[in-house]
Amino acid sequence: MSRLHCARASIAEIAAHFGIDSLPSITVPEETVEGLPGLVVFEKSGRRLLRSMTWGFLRLTKDMRARGEEAGRIGLVADLTNPMWEEMVVDPRYRCLIVLTHFANPDGVPGARTRTWFSVKRQPIIAWAGFCRNLLSEGPVYAGMTMEANAAIPPTNDRMPVLLDPHDYDAWLRGGIQDVIRFQFRPPFAAERMNVQRTEDSWRSKAPPPGTQAQALLL
């Protein structure tokens, strides 16, 4: 599963899509990888709020500590029974909508990976089902839930984000654990709904999705 996504839209467009009443004074990041900021929508006191948070929860195991390794970032939730997530997945307070317009997977052979971008047709702004928490040791952080990929994603990966339609937002933000399980194990968005943009851009190039450069200047 990819560890790269972006939101090529303005704060005003994002706020309108998600029903945000008050526009926050934040910047739309050019792209997000684990350890960098991304945009997240969550609910508090019945209101939807838009915030910038760091993608990925810190993880430092005993073995990592013994080897002198630094903590890593975990930005993907594939196993709901993992003790790292078991408290959050059952509590709607920790649900969020991760804001994106595109996500990318590395394509090609090792050493020459390129960026292949995925988006949803006729859905300029996408929500990815996620979990977020404000931790004393880390500040506000988030992770996204993954599922089995549709036929448009391979061979770049066999998993993809759990994408939501607007009519799913309330159920994700307010539902019980059975709703969380249902979203992860329901069929993914149909492959026919996906735009696939293969590029020659190096995986580490920071090049945006094709056709979005001009839009980025207007953010």
Cα angle, residue 117 at apex, residues 113 and 121 outer, rounded to 5°: 160
Predicted local confidence at residue 218, as pLDDT:
44
Residue type, 44: K
Question: What six digits make up the tokens of 176?
Answer: 């019980």
Q: Is the pLDDT of residue 71 over 90?
A: no
Domain range summary for the chain, segments of one domain joined by +: 4-202
DSSP string, 89-136: HT-GGGEEEEEESEEEEEESSTTS-EEEEEEETTBSSEEEEEEEEEET
Residue 154 confidence (pLDDT): 96
When computed from its CA atoms, the radius of gyration of the chain, rounded to whole angstroms, is 17
* pLDDT(18) > 80: yes
Pairwise CA distance, residues 184 & 112, whole Å = 32
Is residue 66 predicted with pLDDT exceeding 80? Answer: no
The C-alpha atoms of residue 179 and residue 171 are separated, in whole angstroms, by: 7
Instruction: Please give the angle made by the CA atoms of 86, 68 and 32, to the nearest 5 degrees.
Output: 55
What are the pLDDT digits (tens) for 177-212?
999 999 999 999 999 999 999 999 999 999 999 998
CATH for 4-202, options being 3.30.70.270, 3.90.1680.10, 3.60.10.10, 2.40.110.10: 3.90.1680.10
Report pLDDT for 216: 44
Average pLDDT on 20-49 reads 94
Reference 174, options 94, 99, 87; nearest CA is: 94
